[in-house]
Amino acid sequence: MGVMTQGKASLDTRAAAPGRFSDRYLMTVVILQQAAGAMCFPISKYGLDIIEPFTFAFYRFVISSVVLAAIVLLKKHDIPIARSDYWKIIGLGFLIIPFNQTLYLLGQSLTGAGHGAMLFATVPVWILLAALLHLKEKFVWRRGLGVAVALVGVFVIMKAGASEFGKEYFYGDLIILVAVIAWAYYTVLGKPLVRKYGALRVTAYALLSGSVLYFPFGLYMAMKFDYSQVTLGAWGSVLYMAVGISVVVYVVWYWLLKYWEASRIAVYHNIQPVLAAAVAFVWLGEPVGWSFVVGSLIALSGIVLAEV
């Protein structure tokens, strides 16, 4: 009886509503969004080799906040944001900037190179759990199984190139795990606000409020940094992370939440490591072995299983 109820809930979720985009269209958008997100790994790696991480983050947050604020100011909005909801949006900004982005940079500096990617591969699990707890989304067993299978595939890919694990990495890994959970809660807690006010405004105000919190520390680091070795390509890396990721990818991520359950979108997050490894092979010449092929097939089969 429980399985039949869950199956019906899954079908009801997918049913087309008036004015809603088709599943095929939304599936195409989420794949493109994840592809753009996957590009951030090789692109940011290039920039971070030249620009100190906290200075890099400072310019990324300032540029993205200014661009989003300008777009929001030029666009007319029918529904004003309630005062109580402003505090919720500020909370999202606290999650995405200090807790997600800044802690990730700090944690990555204290752990092995491959650990951050492996820990971020657990994002779908945390989103699934948070959506069940806070959004009261019904558990669909195929979706849960698909997340688990895709996660196994990602670990197969990442483990081949991961650093050794040991006590010296404990604190760095723990900090990154906090950053991962912060992204999951940014996704889940933002969903009701996105449905109410739209993805653009919520993303803009969240990033703006988070950037204000980060600004004093970021400005201090930016003023200390030596810019003599910074290349045009490094600034291009900053620009892609600011506009391509913080503006486009983040807004589209929230926009998708208007139409799909958070737990469903989360499954597609496992496309990113597969695409990132492929891009690194083509662009950076990083080796790809059988572990990549096998892991990719497992990860993609998990996504297919969740969507059956």
- For residue 91, name the pLDDT band (cuts at 50, 70, 90): very high
Secondary element (H or E) of residue 144: helix 141-159
**pLDDT of 33-81, one tens digit each?**
988 887 877 788 788 889 998 999 999 999 999 999 999 988 888 788 9
Confidence band, pLDDT 50/70/90 cuts, at residue 289: low
Provide the 8-state DSSP code for 102: I
Is 230 or 267 the better-scoring residue by pLDDT? Answer: 230
pLDDT of residue 9: 40
**pTM for the full predicted model:** 0.77
pLDDT digits (tens, 9 = 90+) for 128-168: 888 888 888 777 777 777 777 777 776 776 565 544 555 66
Task: Please give the Cα distance from 142 to 211 (Å, whole number).
Answer: 38
Write phi, then psi, for 148 (nearest 5 degrees). Answer: -65, -45
What percent of the chain stands above pLDDT 90?
37
Torsion of CA 216, 218, 224, 226, to 10 degrees: -150
Q: What is the reported pLDDT for 288? A: 58
Domain ranges (residues) in the chain: 22-307
Structure tokens at 7: 């199956």
